[in-house]
Each structure stands twice: as structure tokens, then as C-alpha cells.
């Protein structure tokens, strides 16, 4: 299952978050996420201190737990998302159901 996480860093925490994140190694970042989450991609709007990431996990609790790691410095919104193939399959099944 894929999840989209969007975030906004608290204004008073911007510089400390940027400093902390910039010092993280790839191994530390992976450890922060835990073993049940795979990062697909992450993009940062550094001018606004917002961003979006797509993660894959079979465990929504692992996603929530990871988000809580950063809860004191940013607001996060997590939502399940579908890729193109999954969305097309859903659309076809709904169309078939509507036509039957």
C-alpha cells in the first residue's frame, strides 16, 4: 500500500529542522523510518518548508509511528494513494459494476 505524506515545518523550528535533516545519513534516515517502510520518493519546497513524500508499507501503524518521530517540529498529513495502474483498475471495476 502506498501513502502520501505532506508536511509543513513549524515556523519557529525551520532552521533547526533543516540543520538536523541535512546532517542525517541515508542509514539514519532509513532507521528513522523503520524496517516496514520503503521510501519511493520525497520532494522538499525549501522556500516554504513544506514537502511531499510517497512511501510504501503494508503497515499503516508503521507510517503513523514514523510521522510521530517528527511531530514536535512539523505538521504531517498522511493519506493512502493509488498509482496509475491501480487507479485504472479501480475505474474499470466501477464502470463494470455500473454497467451490470
pLDDT in tens, the chain (100 residues): 999 999 999 999 999 999 999 999 999 999 999 999 999 999 999 999 999 999 999 999 999 999 999 999 999 999 999 999 999 999 999 999 898 8
The four Cα atoms 91, 87, 4, 49 give a dihedral, to 10 degrees, of -90
pTM of the model: 0.87
Distance CA 2, CA 38 (A): 9
Give the range of the structural domain holding residue 66, as residue numbers without chain letter: 2-99
Q: How many domains does the chain have?
A: 1
CATH code for position 6: 3.30.70.1060
**What are the strands, taking DSSP E only, across the chain?**
2-9, 38-45, 50-56, 74-81
Distance CA 98, CA 8 (A): 40
Amino acid at each position: 500500500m502506498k501513502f502520501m505524506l505532506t508536511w509543513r515545518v513549524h515556523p519557529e523550528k525551520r532552521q533547526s529542522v533543516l540543520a538536523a535533516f541535512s546532517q542525517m545519513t541515508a542509514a539514519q534516515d532509513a532507521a528513522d523510518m523503520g524496517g516496514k517502510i520503503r521510501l519511493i520518493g520525497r520532494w522538499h519546497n525549501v522556500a516554504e518548508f513544506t514537502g511531499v513524500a510517497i512511501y510504501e508499507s503494508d503497515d499503516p501503524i508503521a507510517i503513523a509511528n514514523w510521522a510521530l518521530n517528527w511531530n514536535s517540529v512539523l505538521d504531517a498529513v498522511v493519506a493512502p494513494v493509488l498509482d496509475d495502474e491501480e487507479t485504472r483498475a479501480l475505474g474499470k471495476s466501477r464502470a463494470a459494476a455500473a454497467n451490470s
